Structure 1
Amino acid sequence: MLKNSIYILLITAFISCNTQGKKEDVTIPVLDLTAYVDPFIGTGGHGHTYPGATMPFGMVQVSPDNGTNGWDWCSGYHYSDSIVSGFSQLHLSGTGIGDLADLLFMPTAKELDLTKTYTSRLDRPYISKYSHKRESASPGYYSVYLEDPQIKVGLTATQRTAFQKYNYEGAGEPSVVLDLGFAINWDATVETAIHVEDKNTISGYRHTTGWAKNQKVFYVATFSKPISRYQLIQDKNIQKADSVVGKNTAAQFFFDIDGSRDVEVKISVSSVSVANAKENMKASDNMNFEQAKTTAQQAWNKQLQHIVVETPTDSLKTIFYSALYHTQIAPVTFSDVNGEFRQENDSIVKVDFTAYSTLSLWDTFRAENPLLALIQPDKTTAIVNSMLAYYQVHKSLPVWTLYGNETNTMTGNHAIPVIAEAYFKGIKGFDAEKAFEAMKNTQMRDERGLEYLKEFGYIPYDKIDESVTYTLEYAYNDWCVAEMAKALGHTKDYEYFSKRSKSYEQLYDSETGFMRGKSAAGAWHIPFDPKFSQHMKNTDYTEGNAWQHSWFVLHDTDNFIKLHGGAEPFTKMLEQLFTESSEITGDHISNDISGLIGQYAHGNEPSHHIAYLFNKAGKPWKTQYWINQILKTQYNTTPNGLSGNEDAGQMSAWYVWSSMGLYPFNPASAAYEIGSPVFEKSTINLPNGKTFSIIAQGVSEANFYIQSATLNGEVFNQTQITHDQLLKGGELKFVMGSAPNKKWGVTKPVN
């Protein structure tokens, strides 16, 4: 939903007036950047985002659930739908995973039979039709009109508490259903409980298994109006009691309405206990729905002020700020106000920092985590410490954690580059030696293919699936460990992991130019078709093919280019990637291959760095051309505005970086590649109080080629800028034109 007006907030700043020698109040207009955010972007297509309400990195994500199972309903909601089953408190943003959707509340206006078995969502007696015409969303707020019971629903949130507001416009007896048996996709209940504590308070828990095998959510909910009567259901049987426990429990609560026909409910959660959920709610004790909504909107506007872009094209602002919004949703707060959270083995950990979960590291290490490292390094510190707390229990760093559970989903060990990046970007607040120990031990395990890497120097395709992707990603992980070892003075470890970081060479086939599967005996995997895709099983590549995965060498690009015979043949093949036909062959093609430009697949993360490889080959004007093409074709302002899964912020983070003209090609190198900016000016408000501005003079739809550049007034003729240079503040200025300047940016950066 696009907004037609931009609201103005007024803030007071104190500045020195030299002419009169005194200070005076000056009112400075500041744009409310939330007005540019459209949470519906990505709710269509394969974006898998949700439109509901959350705080930045909040513990709760209260959002509508259509009740449809399927890949495109992984967030619980898809824009193509017109039926809502209810509003649950936990959701995943843009993943390919069908989990969470815990604690479903649904208002209704009549007594319902909750004892029947549901074979489809249409069997649920509380579902309702809705129309997008009476649906709206903005950061921290969502509303919809339920046509069948004639109820307007509003959703908002504070950091650990969800708020739902029901306006019972129609006739009937106001009530709300709580269905703890509601589940989507892989999620299934193990045990649930509902306890009526008093006329305004209920509590309980929902224990489930799914992608997260041991997910325990404890809750407390308070209603603004007293409960006049209620009905509790235990495994499809009505119980005359104030508490029920069972695999599937549900309840209907009825309210006496005096005056206002509004009922508000607050729901706080915890992974630890009901008592902790009550402690989490205390921060919202004296807050009503409207106050929470205002607080959320103010928090989001402050969050979006980290980067201010200037352009006369409002649609570009909508894409940018919607993207920046989506990068600030995950990871999510997991520890309670008292610092406690539950691990997968049911141990309760207490920490003195905010612990985070929903770590989709295969995706986010590329651009999402680097964005946080720049604009919110305190979050990076907490994320690293969260991963180290995980390491204390599992003796390895996390791969993909959800609600404290390891899912072991995706290839590589990409907590490693996140930690290395934090260290090399000077982010403090974690023990570097302990972090190195965790990195090293994670890469020295005998599991997830690492045992074969140690034995053969690469991972053979006849040992595990996705062997090429595993080998390439472990090579980068090893380089990160090596660099950390070198910085900390661990010479032998540096030598060992540095040598192992060359393992990618073993899978390069000079005859075809691709990275290919190789057997334990050293034979290439045949037959070979670089366009062939097989999802997960009997495949050498993860969610892709040889065209898309053969470019993952972030740490050793000079040698990588030499393997191809030099810059010219390398560039020729790279250009072919973008111009080749988009045909994907195979009978079980991965759904994640989307956003195709030739064989380049922007809808999946392994492609995200590829266009910047032209910089490495000395042809930056080609990077500028293809980055501009990707920016223009893979993002828009509609619900289909993302070309693939949002993946916990990565798809949007790519846009945030690339639209400004920068990209963290190798995050742990603490440097950024230069692409092609689309904004006249982008100002990064750095956490150290300084600002770094990127100006693109003359930029337009036609003028996307860099003609010249200056950094703080000095001639700048290279395609790389360091993190330290950004932190010092200043101005990077580009002069843009419609034709490539093949002399700009070919100077090698000075290390």
Structure 2
Amino acid sequence: MRLSTLAVLLGFTLSVQAQDSLISYVDPFIGTGGHGHTFPGATVPFGMVQLSPDNGRAGWDWCSGYHYSDSLIVGFSHMHLSGTGIGDWLDISVLPLTAPLDDTVQRLTMRFSHDNEQAAPGYYQVLLSNGVNAELTTTERCGYHRYTYPQGSTPIIRFDLAFHVNWDNPTETHVSILNDSTLVGYRYSTGWAKVQKVYFAARTSAPIVRSILNDGQSASDMSDMVETYDKGKGASVQLFFDGNTHRTIEMKVALSMTSYDKAVNALREIPSWNFRDVRKAAEDKWEKELQKIKITTADNRLKRVFYTALYHTAIAPTLYSDADGTYQNANGELRTMPNGANRYTLFSLWDTFRALNPLFTLTQPQRYTDMLNSLLAFHDENGLLPVWDLSTWETNTMTGYHAIPVLADAILKDWPGLNAERAYEAMLHSAYQDIRGVPDYIEYGYLPQDKAGGSVTVTLEYAFDDWCIAQVAKKLGKTADYATFMNRAKSYTHLFDSQTGFMRAKTSEGHFVEPFDPFWSEHDFDKSQYIEGNAWQHSFFVPHDVHGLVHLYGGNEGLSSKLDELFAAPSEMHGENISPDASGFIGQYAHGNEPSHHIAYLYSYIGEAWKTQERIRQIVDSMYHDRPDGYAGNEDAGQMSAWAVWSIAGLYPANPASGEYVFGSPCADEVIFALPNDKSFTIRTLDKDAKNGYIQSVTLNGEPYEKTYIRHEDVLNGGKLVFKMGPKPGKRYGRKPESWPGGN
């Protein structure tokens, strides 16, 4: 009886879990406080439209347009960056009004309370101080607005194409009202991306009875709804509706980077006026996305952290092309992706190459080919692979040429639909470019600080990228290139100072730059030796040759001791212009910025996997929360979240182009990856609780497993990885060199 009852109970539990809605664990407000820089509004996975509120304030913490500390809304714009450190986009701003603006160029602010605001995947709602209840949802290229106005008010919707904050400024704007329910327009602007062109088409559910257009200097009041037109740097329009017959006004706003006509075509993504159905479709897309990784845990806080992180990994990069693959790039060229593919933009590669892109090789089997080929399309249009692509413009922000590890990882994993020879040629162009300090890096074997800023960061990152090229050369049988780039991959050795145990900047004469302070941080890239950090945070970026780094430190004990010092050092930084990006400190480990993300995993390369497990559990518990300030720093287009997804599961690509996933300290009872080949890979944790953070033993498919990592192809084969945990370090596990990642 007891076995039968247990079976029934287990069956009931599994049924409940099968029906469990994973989107209910996502909180889009996580990351909108602190320095997370995320937005709370509506979008679908990797959609062109991110329809979200803007507070209207300039400043670093308003890079996404919204910060949880604020109480004002100036509009709902259709394009937002997720978690970055630079403010741009915020195109096509819309605000519902109940009274016309006399000065049509003024910026009107509405108060709101978080008590009257909610957000969920694909949906956002807020009650504004003018009594309008605003609801937003989206498809890939179309935003859907529903505004419910107070009884007796005059429904008005204002488009403000002049709206901008931070880096962005409009250069030319246009509005044309075609009939009593349709308008089109565009907004050209310059900012972080110097050339941005966004076209839109809007259609309303009720007839427009009057409009006031403004070109930024003068207004035109149109009482008869004939075709009207306005153009200037700050065009805006107020659309009036009959409040006696329409208290609720719905509106679709579609985007294109190509033309009005393509924006009008994109309106077809929402063929009817049914807000509930469109919202449900957006929710279903997110539910399908989240079902790719299922976790089992009684800790609902952990579920909220995990699924919000997984949600944030599926926002960027974003669609840039029309439904037929056509797009207009920053050079003004009309192009079409072949074979119905999509073009993507917003590649924050300095961040995402580390963990997000390797995660995509498990979670994005359909989309990732198009994303990779978008990198190659950028190369074909500009002569080099992108560094930081925004609106197909090269912002040239941050260091390294990190499209290379992204492409290398895919090639080494035999990614379908990617031409390896074509990608390899593009890699070589980046490796031999005549800008970004590359000629000096090649000449001296490192980047001298007196030739360009960022000597240490640039040298170490170029060395890693060159190792990635070498691995692809080896796979493709290019023996001479393999030797050349393996030699370049050793460039980091030239900057190691054995006296201090740090990587230090050198001059072109071969001398270390003096004075030296490992706590010193300089945010000016031209002056800084370490980009967005200091010597502590950047000296360990040698993920491709940890055993070479060990040699510099005189052995495993030397590197272990230095890592211990890192986590125990005072959490302070020195300097007059300290980088704000370094945050989330444990000692001098700074989880709030990407250069630290692999460091805790380095212990596993030297036979001290238990220290990795200890630190990973500490970082997960202290740096991720289910609050608006739930991230330790900028979320950075999915990287901060990808670290959490991997690490909560118990794995991490410490070398993101090696195909090795290093074990950490799994936090859930069970994690199931739904794999691209219709198989599944399960990670199960035995004897797990808050105190049992240490791995005692591991089995793979029922057999003892001694390695402290697992390879990508083993994950793809499916199966079950089981960790037995305990409250004390399992120091015997992972002690043998043959069990370590990194080639030994």
Rounded to whole Å, the distance in 2 between the matches of 1:380 and 1:671 is: 19
Query: Which letter maps to 2:676?
Result: P
Rounded to whole Å, the distance in 2 between the matches of 1:154 and 1:554 is: 46
1:99 aligns with 88
Alignment of 1:275-294 (within 5 A): 275-294=261-280
1:678 aligns with 667
- The answer to whether the Cα contact below 8 Å between 1:189 and 1:247 also exists between their aligned partners in 2 is yes
How far has the Cα of 1:426 moved from its partner?
2.0
- The answer to whether the Cα contact below 8 Å between 1:150 and 1:168 also exists between their aligned partners in 2 is yes
2:71 counterpart of 1:78: no
Which segment is superposed worse, 570-579 or 377-386? 377-386
1:515 aligns with 503
2:449 aligns with 461
How far has the Cα of 1:113 moved from its partner?
1.9
2:576 counterpart of 1:587: yes
- SS of residue in 1 equivalent to 2:638: helix
Equivalent position to 1:222, from 203, 206, 210: 203
Rounded to whole Å, the distance in 2 between the matches of 1:298 and 1:680 is: 26
1:359 aligns with 347
How far has the Cα of 1:338 moved from its partner?
1.5
1:702 aligns with 691
Rounded to whole Å, the distance in 1 between the matches of 2:520 and 2:466 is: 28
Equivalent position to 2:537, from 543, 548, 552: 548
2:293 counterpart of 1:274: no
How far has the Cα of 1:288 moved from its partner?
2.6
- SS of residue in 1 equivalent to 2:637: helix
Equivalent position to 1:607, from 596, 606, 609: 596
How far has the Cα of 1:114 moved from its partner?
3.3
1:478 aligns with 466
Rounded to whole Å, the distance in 1 between the matches of 2:484 and 2:280 is: 54
Equivalent position to 1:187, from 156, 168, 171: 168
- The answer to whether the Cα contact below 8 Å between 2:23 and 2:287 also exists between their aligned partners in 1 is yes
Question: What does the per-residue CA deviation read over 1:202-254, in whole Å, with 9 as the maximum and x for residues that have no partner?
Answer: 10100000001000000000011100100000123113571001011111000
- The answer to whether the Cα contact below 8 Å between 1:151 and 1:170 also exists between their aligned partners in 2 is no
How far has the Cα of 1:745 moved from its partner?
1.6
- The answer to whether the Cα contact below 8 Å between 1:115 and 1:236 also exists between their aligned partners in 2 is no
Aligned length: 718
Rounded to whole Å, the distance in 2 between the matches of 1:348 and 1:114 is: 38
Alignment of 1:4-23 (within 5 A): none
- SS of residue in 1 equivalent to 2:517: coil
Rounded to whole Å, the distance in 2 between the matches of 1:240 and 1:296 is: 38
- The answer to whether the Cα contact below 8 Å between 1:66 and 1:77 also exists between their aligned partners in 2 is yes
Equivalent position to 2:333, from 338, 347, 350: 347
- SS of residue in 2 equivalent to 1:499: helix
Question: What does the per-residue CA deviation read over 1:92-137, in whole Å, with 9 as the maximum and x for residues that have no partner?
Answer: 0000111000000000101112345x5xxxxx2x321000000000
TM-score w.r.t. the length of structure 1 is 0.94
2:9 aligns with none
Rounded to whole Å, the distance in 2 between the matches of 1:266 and 1:570 is: 58
2:363 counterpart of 1:381: no
2:192 aligns with 211
Query: Which letter maps to 2:234?
Result: N
How far has the Cα of 1:624 moved from its partner?
0.3
Query: Which letter maps to 1:237?
Result: S
2:418 counterpart of 1:430: yes
- The answer to whether the Cα contact below 8 Å between 1:221 and 1:266 also exists between their aligned partners in 2 is yes
1:172 aligns with 153
Alignment of 1:483-632 (within 5 A): 483-535=471-523, 536-632=525-621
- SS of residue in 1 equivalent to 2:179: coil
How far has the Cα of 1:258 moved from its partner?
5.1
Question: What does the per-residue CA deviation read over 1:49-101, in whole Å, with 9 as the maximum and x for residues that have no partner?
Answer: 00000000001000000000000000000000001001000000000111000
How far has the Cα of 1:575 moved from its partner?
0.8
Which structure has greater strand proportion? 1
How far has the Cα of 1:446 moved from its partner?
1.3
Cα pair distance change 1:440/1:502, threshold 3 Å: same
- The answer to whether the Cα contact below 8 Å between 2:205 and 2:273 also exists between their aligned partners in 1 is no
- The answer to whether the Cα contact below 8 Å between 1:178 and 1:250 also exists between their aligned partners in 2 is yes
Rounded to whole Å, the distance in 1 between the matches of 2:189 and 2:430 is: 28
Rounded to whole Å, the distance in 1 between the matches of 2:40 and 2:202 is: 22
Equivalent position to 1:141, from 123, 133, 136: 123
- The answer to whether the Cα contact below 8 Å between 1:109 and 1:171 also exists between their aligned partners in 2 is no
Query: Which letter maps to 2:310?
Result: L
Rounded to whole Å, the distance in 1 between the matches of 2:74 and 2:548 is: 55
- The answer to whether the Cα contact below 8 Å between 1:380 and 1:422 also exists between their aligned partners in 2 is no
How far has the Cα of 1:344 moved from its partner?
1.6
Gaps of 5+ in 1: 1-25, 119-123
How far has the Cα of 1:285 moved from its partner?
2.1
How far has the Cα of 1:259 moved from its partner?
4.4
1:421 aligns with 409
Rounded to whole Å, the distance in 2 between the matches of 1:114 and 1:385 is: 47
1:652 aligns with 641
Question: What does the per-residue CA deviation read over 1:256-310, in whole Å, with 9 as the maximum and x for residues that have no partner?
Answer: 1454511011111111111111122212223532211010001100100000000
- The answer to whether the Cα contact below 8 Å between 2:669 and 2:684 also exists between their aligned partners in 1 is yes
How far has the Cα of 1:684 moved from its partner?
0.6
- The answer to whether the Cα contact below 8 Å between 2:152 and 2:243 also exists between their aligned partners in 1 is no
How far has the Cα of 1:27 moved from its partner?
11
1:716 aligns with 705
- The answer to whether the Cα contact below 8 Å between 1:270 and 1:336 also exists between their aligned partners in 2 is yes
Cα pair distance change 1:194/1:217, threshold 3 Å: same
- SS of residue in 1 equivalent to 2:470: helix
How far has the Cα of 1:386 moved from its partner?
0.3
Equivalent position to 2:233, from 247, 256, 279: 247
Q: Which runs of 4+ in 1 moved over 6 A?
A: none
- SS of residue in 1 equivalent to 2:285: helix
- The answer to whether the Cα contact below 8 Å between 1:681 and 1:693 also exists between their aligned partners in 2 is yes
- The answer to whether the Cα contact below 8 Å between 2:659 and 2:712 also exists between their aligned partners in 1 is yes
Task: Indicate the RMSD between aligned Cα atoms, in angstroms.
Answer: 1.3
- SS of residue in 2 equivalent to 1:418: helix
Rounded to whole Å, the distance in 2 between the matches of 1:379 and 1:443 is: 27
Equivalent position to 2:213, from 232, 243, 246: 232
- SS of residue in 1 equivalent to 2:462: helix
Equivalent position to 1:305, from 268, 275, 291: 291
Rounded to whole Å, the distance in 2 between the matches of 1:271 and 1:550 is: 42
- The answer to whether the Cα contact below 8 Å between 2:411 and 2:420 also exists between their aligned partners in 1 is yes
2:39 counterpart of 1:39: no
Question: What does the per-residue CA deviation read over 1:491-547, in whole Å, with 9 as the maximum and x for residues that have no partner?
Answer: 111111111111000011111110000000000010000000000241101100000
Query: Which letter maps to 2:423?
Result: A
Rounded to whole Å, the distance in 2 between the matches of 1:247 and 1:376 is: 40
- SS of residue in 2 equivalent to 1:667: coil
Rounded to whole Å, the distance in 1 between the matches of 2:455 and 2:512 is: 12
2:112 counterpart of 1:130: yes
Question: What does the per-residue CA deviation read over 1:330-370, in whole Å, with 9 as the maximum and x for residues that have no partner?
Answer: 01011101111121211111013111100000000001111
- The answer to whether the Cα contact below 8 Å between 1:718 and 1:746 also exists between their aligned partners in 2 is no
Q: Sequence identity of aligned pairs in percent?
A: 48
Equivalent position to 1:667, from 649, 653, 656: 656
- SS of residue in 2 equivalent to 1:227: coil
